């Protein structure tokens, strides 16, 4: 088994790298782009804005979010 390329769950297949999503993090709605799929979650690059500067600083602009907590955005 190759851990560097995990197979996403059935739910995760909707969230390919490059997909723009929204999610609730610490009580705030954030948005970002999937950078990597994991089995049950995705690594998301958080969109920077004036209201989340501290979050971006504390997380280096990335977080891991379970697929069930992600929502696709309309583009």
Identify the CATH number of the domain defined by range 11-72: 2.30.30
What digits encode the pLDDT tens for the residues 42-65?
A: 999 999 999 999 999 999 999 999
Percent of the chain scoring above 70 in pLDDT: 95
Domain boundaries, the chain: 11-72
Please say whether the dihedral angle defined by the alpha carbons of residues 48, 20, 18 and 34, taken in this order, is positive or negative: positive
Question: How high does pLDDT run on average in the chain?
Answer: 93
pLDDT the model gives residue 8: 95
């Amino acid at each position: 088994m190759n851990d560097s390329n995990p197979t996403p769950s059935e739910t995760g297949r909707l969230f390919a790298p490059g997909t723009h999503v929204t999610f609730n993090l610490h009580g705030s709605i954030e948005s970002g782009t999937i950078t990597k799929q994991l089995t049950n979650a995705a690594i998301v690059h958080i969109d920077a804005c004036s209201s989340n500067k501290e979050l971006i600083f504390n997380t280096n602009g990335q977080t891991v979010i379970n697929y069930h907590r992600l929502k696709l955005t309309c583009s």
